Structure 1
Amino acid sequence: MKFLIKSATIVDPNSSFNGQVKDILIDNGQITQIDDQIDAKDAQLYDATGQFVSPGWMDMHVNIGDPGYETKEDIASGCAAAAAGGFTAIAVMPNTNPPLHSKSEIEYLKNRSKGQAVNVYPIGCLSAKREGVDIAELFDMTQSGAVAFSDGNKPVQNAGLMMRSLQYALAFNGLVISYPEDASIAEKAKVNEGVTATYLGMKGIPNMAEELMVARDIFLTEYTGGKIHFTTISAAGSVDLIRAARKKGLKVTADVAAHHLMLDETVLTGFDSNYKVKPPLRTLTDIKALKAGLKDGTIDTVVSQHTPHEIEFKDQEFETAAFGISALETSFALFNMSCEKVLSLEEMVDALAVSPREILGLAVPSIELNRAAELTVFDPDHQWTLNTENIKSKSKNTPFIGKQLKGKALAIVNNGQVVLN
């Protein structure tokens, strides 16, 4: 199949065509021509005038229910939601049943995702059964296709386990992903500790619960010589700690969830459980620090932290509702709206397409002749409204239904397939 993208502005820091308005011809999954004017009568035509094309975006923190929780999200619906959000690749957390803690589960997920327009990369468990006691079969999972190791939304409380995991993964250049939270401090609190928590009459989670674990894992990384990635950081102090670690030359990277850039704790005053996330929404001071971290490179990439739930998990009192937002389809809009005056378009594409793959050791797609076509077409000025009937995910647990959003991925091209939004 031939696909012709007309008059798109190329945004690709690794391309010789960066910043230029070009036609791009794709034939059988390959970029066969890039020119000012291309005529291909037998090609499917897409007019991208006023739009941008970049290397396909990657989200390195996605929760998919398969295996075990397919009623929340299965591979097909998760990939459809990812494509609608502009992602050509996703790395999925091991929060499944059974968890992705051996090569069998990794190979199952790889096989289940074959033929999709979105590439699916499994993140294996750091500990067996995600129990936080014994190291999982890290090397075997790497051989089967795991790109990193994490216990997902279960923070590793055992410092010895984290240390030994970093040491073991070092032998094969493996990446450990830390979800930083000291559970003994966070306990069963549901919101950020501060004025809003007091107003709501709820116990809060202090920034320190996150910052202590960031500090601990930085010390362990320095001691072992390993490499670590902090996912969904939310606190200003965490940004400072990671910035200092990077200045020391430690192998430390980090991401932030798009909703933590857009929303602060005050949106919780209406007790809408769709805003209930973990780590909790913080303050405007924290948001300012997160944006500064993105700008200076302390934070490498932005993730959706896509966490789909059936309606019964969210349609209940705030205190008992589950954490998480179904976020793949709105992640770019939130990132764009919150950071359009902070980051250039090229910096945003670097955070969406280049940095996550570099962190995971994956090949970075580029818009060049004779390269595989893995592209995202998008418009940062596109105004749109999220409607329930248009959501591709199985789950609708998002506070943005009916809200006006700015910035949308309009098409992806990958694996010889085209998905138009």
Structure 2
Amino acid sequence: MKVLLKKVTILDKKSTYYNQQKDILISDGKYSKIADNIQDKEAKQITSNSLFISQSWVDLKADFNDPGHEYNEDLNSGLNLAANSGFGHIYLVPTTSPIVDNKAQVNYILTKNGQHIVELHPMGTITKEGKGESLSEMYDMFQTGASVFTDNTSFLSSGILYRALLYVQNFGGQIVSFPQDKSLSYHGQINEGIASLKTGLRAMPSVGELIQVQRDLSILEYTEGKLHFSGISCAESLNLIRKAKKKGLQVTCDVYVNHLLFNETATLGFDTNHKVFPPYRTEEDRKELWKAISDGTIDCIASNHQPKIADYKDIEFDNADFGVMSLQSFYASLVDQNLKQHADFIEKISSKPREILDFKENTSINLGNSADCTLFDPTITWELNETTNLSKSINSPFYNKKLKGKAIGIIKRNTVHLNK
């Protein structure tokens, strides 16, 4: 099979042709020719008004609610949604029902994945049943196909984190920490500041994140391990991580996409589609997150896709679940927010996650490498609505709104998925 991409700009910093517009011929699943003008009548030709290519996008955190809560989303709907959104790899949170704390649950997800063009990466819990009491069967899960371990938003004691960081060094697993001291934000709903003052809702202070980042970095330094922070939301945390990186600690972090788009004022209207965890912080924090994208302090951008049906969202703010669906609007929302940093944010969802998680195969856009790429166009306009929405849920602040920027498709070796 041959595919010819015409006049495509290459946004892959690992490519010899970075930021150049070229024609690309993919033959038998590999990049066989990259040049200014390629002609091949046998090849399937793909064009667009402003065509871009990168290594396929990787989402470090999504919840497909399967098994246990398939009414919100399931693995089939999630896979199709991911493909439409341009993501070739999805890391799934383990906090399903039952929880992913053993190899049988890892196998369930991998079996359901089948031969779909999107590859699912099940994460396992750090502790048994995610209860924070004793370590789970991480090595068994690693042998089965899970290389990343997290208890998601549950609290990890210092002792558990210490033992986990030491344990995974034996086989190369990755520990992910969600830094929140919940004792400082019990029943908290939104950020402590303008949002909590004007709404009267219970607050979640940013110091709850800061304290956990400080503690986790101290334990990381002591164990000489490797740690990834999920969902950094405030400037103070970024400063600590920045210093730790300069010190030589093996620490990485991500930010959730909607925290780059909104600040705490989004919650003033009590829209439950802005009830997220961690909460949106100040405008200064949001700007600092973008600066950290530029200077490399933030390594990746994750969707934190959390679909919820109306029963859990179309109710009073206090009683509504946390979470927002964010896969399908991911790329367009970033294009709308900051097209000037197009190359920066594409790197954070393509080559950087591969570095952090030690992807074995080199899929950079260079001659001879296997194709594993996303095609996208920042000029395409569309609307997320009842017709286009591929999720089972509708809890998005972008629902029924016009968006600009769209994934055109994914190519993975000899398989091509093109969006309508």
Q: Which bin holds the TM-score, normalised by the shorter protein?
A: over 0.9
Deviating more after overlay: 31-40 vs 197-206: 31-40
Deviating more after overlay: 235-244 vs 404-413: 404-413
1:168 equivalenced with 2:171 (yes/no): no
Shift of 1:220: 0.6
Partner in structure 2 of residue 373 of structure 1: 371
The alignment yields a C-alpha RMSD, in angstroms, of: 1.5
Deviating more after overlay: 381-390 vs 177-186: 381-390
CA distance in 1, matches of 2:24, 2:299: 29
Counterpart of 2:380 in structure 1: which amino acid?
H
Shift of 1:5: 1.5
For residues 207-218 of structure 1, what are the structure 2 equivalents within 5 Å?
207-218=206-217
Shift of 1:420: 2.1
**Deviation readout 1:186-230 (Å, 9 max, x if unpaired):** 111111111121111111100011111111100110111111100
Shift of 1:320: 0.5
Partner in structure 2 of residue 277 of structure 1: 276
Partner in structure 2 of residue 395 of structure 1: 393
**Deviation readout 1:79-108 (Å, 9 max, x if unpaired):** 111112111111111021111111111122
For residues 62-141 of structure 1, what are the structure 2 equivalents within 5 Å?
62-141=62-141
Shift of 1:49: 4.6
CA distance in 1, matches of 2:393, 2:370: 32
CA distance in 1, matches of 2:386, 2:416: 23
1:219 equivalenced with 2:209 (yes/no): no
CA distance in 2, matches of 1:83, 1:172: 31
For residues 39-78 of structure 1, what are the structure 2 equivalents within 5 Å?
39-78=39-78
| Match for residue 405 of structure 2 among 386, 404, 407 | 407
TM-score by length of 1: 0.95
SS of equivalent to 2:132: coil
Counterpart of 1:388 in structure 2: which amino acid?
E
Partner in structure 1 of residue 24 of structure 2: 24
CA distance in 2, matches of 1:417, 1:75: 20
Deviating more after overlay: 365-374 vs 135-144: 365-374
Matched length:
418
In structure 2, relative to structure 1, the CA distance for the partners of 1:141 and 1:10 (3 Å cut) is same
CA distance in 1, matches of 2:363, 2:78: 22
SS of equivalent to 2:94: coil
**Deviation readout 1:218-250 (Å, 9 max, x if unpaired):** 011011111110001111111111111111111
CA distance in 2, matches of 1:403, 1:46: 28
Instruction: Provide the identity percentage.
Output: 39
Partner in structure 2 of residue 360 of structure 1: 357
CA distance in 2, matches of 1:179, 1:296: 22
Q: Does structure 1 conserve the Cα–Cα contact (< 8 Å) formed by 2:81 and 2:391?
A: yes
Counterpart of 1:93 in structure 2: which amino acid?
V
Counterpart of 2:345 in structure 1: which amino acid?
M
CA distance in 1, matches of 2:326, 2:396: 7
1:34 equivalenced with 2:34 (yes/no): yes
CA distance in 2, matches of 1:207, 1:330: 27
Shift of 1:4: 2.0
Query: Which segments of 5 or more consecutive residues in structure 2 lack a partner in the other structure?
Result: none
Partner in structure 1 of residue 4 of structure 2: 4
Shift of 1:152: 1.5
Partner in structure 2 of residue 233 of structure 1: 232
**Deviation readout 1:270-317 (Å, 9 max, x if unpaired):** 211111110011110110111111111111011110011122111111
Shift of 1:415: 4.9
Counterpart of 1:353 in structure 2: which amino acid?
S
Q: Does structure 2 conserve the Cα–Cα contact (< 8 Å) formed by 1:6 and 1:49?
A: no
Partner in structure 2 of residue 151 of structure 1: 151
Partner in structure 2 of residue 287 of structure 1: 286
CA distance in 2, matches of 1:234, 1:381: 29
Shift of 1:179: 0.6
Partner in structure 1 of residue 347 of structure 2: 350
Partner in structure 2 of residue 254 of structure 1: 253
Q: Does structure 2 conserve the Cα–Cα contact (< 8 Å) formed by 1:155 and 1:178?
A: no
Counterpart of 1:403 in structure 2: which amino acid?
K
CA distance in 1, matches of 2:357, 2:155: 20
For residues 311-350 of structure 1, what are the structure 2 equivalents within 5 Å?
311-341=310-340, 343=341, 345-350=342-347
In structure 2, relative to structure 1, the CA distance for the partners of 1:117 and 1:415 (3 Å cut) is farther
Q: Does structure 1 conserve the Cα–Cα contact (< 8 Å) formed by 2:49 and 2:377?
A: no
Deviating more after overlay: 27-36 vs 147-156: 27-36
TM-score by length of 2: 0.96
1:192 equivalenced with 2:191 (yes/no): yes
Counterpart of 2:205 in structure 1: which amino acid?
P
Shift of 1:171: 1.8
**Deviation readout 1:136-183 (Å, 9 max, x if unpaired):** 111111111112110123232x11111111111122222110011111
Q: Does structure 2 conserve the Cα–Cα contact (< 8 Å) formed by 1:67 and 1:98?
A: yes
Shift of 1:114: 1.9
CA distance in 1, matches of 2:238, 2:399: 31
Deviating more after overlay: 328-337 vs 172-181: 328-337
Deviating more after overlay: 331-340 vs 257-266: 331-340
Q: Does structure 1 conserve the Cα–Cα contact (< 8 Å) formed by 2:3 and 2:44?
A: yes
CA distance in 1, matches of 2:69, 2:29: 33
Query: Which segments of 5 or more consecutive residues in structure 1 lack a partner in the other structure?
Result: none
CA distance in 1, matches of 2:27, 2:110: 26
SS of equivalent to 2:255: strand
CA distance in 1, matches of 2:126, 2:331: 29
